[in-house]
Amino acid sequence: MKRDIITDPMLLSRKSVPAMQEDIQTAQDLLDTVIAHADHCVGMAANMIGVCKRIMAAQIGGKYQILINPEITDHSAQKYTAEEGCLSLKGVRTTERYAVITVSYYDEKFRKKMRTFRGFEAQIIQHEMDHFEGILI
Ligand SMILES: [Zn+2]
């Protein structure tokens, strides 16, 4: 079910807790919501729909994929400066991102995965993981 987007910085600055198997419905709601904003949104963290669990939807390989409880297990030494926008914020801000990250996570069926992401996909994941920490760009 599509949910409203949270824009209150107080709510968005709360840290998210690990998700469990019973949070799968939140993953579906997140997908429904991000798809409703597909023309201007490449990723979304669950706290943006009011659920402080570590679940994100990110555009990977041309479609939205669910990453649950992602952890960066390795990253490139190199960082670069990126300009990012966020559906929960107005305007664009500058931040630093790793060019390459290796992430362990659970997929939408709660299967454990490990994958390396580069460039824009890596950037989306790092942006959404910041949301889990209550960090806004
Ligand atoms: Zn954001």
Query: Comparing C-alpha atoms, which of 95, 90, 106, 115 is closest to residue 53?
Result: 106
Residue range 37-62, pLDDT digits in tens: 999 999 999 999 999 999 999 999 99
Q: How far apart are CA 89 and CA 18, in angstroms?
A: 24
| Residue 109 and residue 21 in contact, taking contact as beta carbons nearer than 8 Å | no
Among all chains, which residue has been given the structure tokens 């107005």? Answer: 90
pLDDT in tens, 64-103: 999 999 999 999 999 999 999 999 988 899 999 999 999 9
Cα of 109 from ligand 1 centre, angstroms: 24
Instruction: Give the CATH number of domain 9-132; options: 3.90.45.10, 3.30.70.980, 2.40.50.140, 3.40.50.410.
Output: 3.90.45.10
- Tell me, what's the pLDDT at 125? 98
Q: 22, 71, 84, 128: which is the annotated catalytic residue?
A: 128
Q: For 100-122, write each residue's pLDDT tens digit.
A: 999 999 999 999 999 999 999 99
Active site residue 108: no
- Cβ proximity of 83 and 98 under 8 Å: no
For the whole model, what pTM was predicted?
A: 0.96
Please report, for the chain, the start and end positions of each structural domain, with discontinuous segments joined by +: 9-132
Distance between Cα 25 and ligand 1 center (Å): 21
Q: Ramachandran region of residue 120, left (φ > 0), alpha (ψ -120 to 50) or beta?
A: alpha
**How many angstroms does the Cα of residue 46 sit away from the middle of ligand 1?**
10
Return the SS3 of 7: coil
